Every structure is written in structure tokens, then in C-alpha cells.
């Protein structure tokens, strides 16, 4: 309200000053009506064009912050989980070659690999001992996962939010069981289903994140490929 009143007063002052200095009230009235006639077009330009440009910029900034958070997640949790799941996948050899992302890939290459992965049947033959070893790993990162779930930046990224919820759900499932080394077949199958859900969501999101690094951060992409969870021969040492 204060800003609106200030602008109206300023406009009135300008017209009054024009009238006092230059005179010719008819010309002033003529100009005022011309300005009022152009006002709807001006509003249209501001609301539709400029507002959209600002919205695009804001979305880009949010996506940048979002990808920073996603990168932190893979550094702390995601990459290690993918390594564990990939090692337990009996059919990973059919997927390994597709996920050895090269520096000269383009958007079509990423799109083609994504189609392959969406059609892939993700299996992880996790043993009871494997669940037992995974529990302390997830327990130590429970607070980190909770902070990510509370991050408002991630609310707009539904796919990654599903990843976080799936990982947190598995953490809760493992925490609620006193012993994981002697589970009945039905319960083992239930946990295996939780793992395979994470495996699929995590892999698809990993590919999207690799595409982002490939396009914008070559040095981060280089490290990601030297620690590629799907490459059994990956080494962080640059040779």
C-alpha cells in the first residue's frame, strides 16, 4: 500500500510539474489518456514475459541447489548402496557396458541408456548377512536422510523424493528387526523387494545426475566415473 501510494503521488507530481512548466493542459490530458491506453499492454508484458523470465531463472537456481543436494546424497549414501546392489545383481553384466558413460556422450546417448534401464528387471539377491551388514551403514546415516527429507528444495523433485523415502523405509525396516541373520523366507522376500525398489529408483536417478555432471561439471563427472558403482574395474587413481 505504501509503495502504491508513493508511485501514484510521484506520477501526479510529474504531471503537475509538466503542467506548471510547460502549460498546455490539453497536451497533458492527451498524454495521460495515451499512457492509460498503453497500461494494459504494459501489464501484459510485465506479467507474462518478464515474470516468466524471472520464473525460469528461479527454477534454474532451484535445480542447481537441488543437484548439489543430490550430489551430497550420492557421496554419503547412494554410491555405496548402488555398489552393494550391483554386486548382488546376478544379471548386472547385461547392464554394465551401458552404464560406462563416456565423455563424448550426447543427450541421445543418455536417452538411449535410460530406455534400456527402464526396461531392465532390477534384481538384488541380498543375503541375510548382507542385510545385517547394511543395517549399521544406514543407521549411521539416518539423521542425514532425515535432514534431506526436511529440505524444502527437494519437494519439487518427486523422483528423488521417492528415492529418499524408499531408502528411509528400508532403514526403518532393518531397525525394527532384532536379528537379520535368521529371517523366514517370506520376510526375506519382503526386504528383498524393498531393496529392489531402491535399486531401480536409485539407478535411474543416478543416470540423471550423471547427465547433469557431464553437461555442467566435467571435473565432478570425472570423479564420478572413476568411482562408478557399476564398473568393477573403476579406480579413483588417475592413470
pLDDT value for 166: 93
* Whether 124 and 213 share a structural domain: yes
Q: Is the pTM of this model over 0.95?
A: no
Taking 50 as the pLDDT cut, the residues of the chain under it are: none
Residue 235 lies in a domain: no
* Whether 82 and 147 share a structural domain: yes
pLDDT value for 97: 82
User: Cell 543407521 identifies what position?
Assistant: 139
pLDDT value for 190: 92
Residue 239 lies in a domain: no
Domain count for the chain: 2
Amino acid at each position: 500500500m505504501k509503495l502504491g501510494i508513493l508511485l501514484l503521488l510521484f506520477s501526479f507530481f510529474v504531471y503537475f510539474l509538466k503542467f506548471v512548466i510547460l502549460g498546455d493542459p490539453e497536451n497533458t490530458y492527451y498524454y495521460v489518456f495515451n499512457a492509460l491506453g498503453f497500461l494494459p499492454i504494459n501489464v501484459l508484458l510485465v506479467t507474462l514475459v518478464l515474470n516468466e523470465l524471472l520464473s525460469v531463472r528461479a527454477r534454474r537456481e532451484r535445480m542447481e541447489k537441488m543437484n548439489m543436494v543430490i550430489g551430497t546424497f550420492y557421496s554419503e549414501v547412494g554410491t555405496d548402496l548402488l555398489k552393494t546392489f550391483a554386486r548382488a545383481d546376478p544379471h548386472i553384466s547385461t547392464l554394465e557396458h551401458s552404464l560406462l558413460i563416456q565423455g563424448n556422450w550426447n543427450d541421445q546417448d543418455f536417452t538411449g541408456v535410460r530406455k534400456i534401464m527402464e526396461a531392465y528387471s532390477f534384481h538384488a539377491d541380498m543375503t541375510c548377512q548382507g542385510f545385517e551388514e547394511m543395517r549399521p551403514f544406514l543407521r549411521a546415516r539416518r539423521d542425514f536422510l532425515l535432514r534431506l527429507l526436511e529440505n524444502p528444495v527437494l519437494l519439487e523433485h518427486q523422483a528423488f523424493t521417492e528415492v529418499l523415502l524408499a531408502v528411509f523405509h528400508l532403514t526403518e525396516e532393518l531397525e525394527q528387526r532384532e536379528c537379520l541373520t535368521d529371517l523366514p523366507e517370506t520376510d526375506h522376500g519382503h526386504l528383498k523387494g524393498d531393496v529392489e525398489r531402491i535399486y531401480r529408483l536409485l539407478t535411474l536417478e543416478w543416470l540423471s545426475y550423471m547427465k547433469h555432471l557431464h553437461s555442467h561439471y566435467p571435473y565432478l563427472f570425472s570423479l564420478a566415473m572413476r568411482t562408478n558403482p557399476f564398473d568393477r574395474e573403476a579406480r579413483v587413481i588417475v592413470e
